[in-house]
Amino acid sequence: MKPIIGVTSSFKDERTMSVSYDNIDSITAAGGVPLVLPNLTDKGQAEQIAAQLDGLLVTGGGDIDPTLFGEEPHPGLGVITPARDVFEINLIREMMKEGKPVLAICRGCQILNIAAGGDMYQDIYSQIGRQLLQHSQKAPRSHASHYINVAEGSLLKQITNQEKYKVNSYHHQAVRNLAPEFYVSACSTDGITEAFESREHPFVIGVQWHPECMTASGDQPSLLLFGAFVEACRQTNKRQRTTV
């Protein structure tokens, strides 16, 4: 049995779901079965969905409501989708409660951190008082535009077997203070947190870049990351079947 992996969705408008096929294709190529999820605000529904999944891919998208971490909207804040915020927080918490794998991408890593008690920069260029790289690249989405440094001993280092490599970049928000259970596993050369991992769960990883846009071009770190994620979901599927 291939693992069933939930894929969170964006709002194209207030009544239309959307998700990039890069997410679908990356999961499928790694051996998983993707299931696109609607943004349901009822906590009980999120719990029922989590019970049926072997893993969760939290995708990229728009900005996040800053009142979720106790701040007022900054002038640099973009469009928010409150229903998506609520659904993803409820679902992430339930997946982590059940010890199931989570891979969170770009906006996804930010909402993962908030769900666990952390916070974020609403706009890095106006809130960080130092020179930054171009984190919203003017290049094709598959192009790796800047370097990250990967922490020794991290799961990301174990997966990729690389301590420095290039990633793509499409964001103006970023993780600020990590939730207590997380640790930084990669940074860009300007000090932005590019990846973090859980100290308590076997596979909960947030990445600030978009590896799903790089798998089709054969980018090895991206392929290895999705491969490891789907394999972790497969092990969850196996455990669930043996306990039924």
Active site residue 106: yes
Q: Strand, coil or helix: what is 211? A: helix
Strands (E), 118-175: 120-121, 146-150, 164-167, 174-175
Candidates 135, 171, 201, 210; catalytic one: 210
Candidates 94, 194, 212, 231; catalytic one: 212
Active site residue 187: no
For residue 196, the Cα-to-chain-centroid distance in whole angstroms is 10
CB-based contact 125:76 (threshold 8 Å): yes
Taking each helix axis as running N to C, give the angle between helix 21-29 and helix 220-243, from 0 to 180 degrees, rounded to the nearest 10. 70
Compute how many other C-beta atoms are within 10 angstroms of the C-beta atom of residue 7.
22
Handedness of CA 210, 176, 112, 43 (dihedral sign): negative
**Pairing label, strands 164-167, 174-175:** unpaired
The catalytic residues are 106, 210, 212
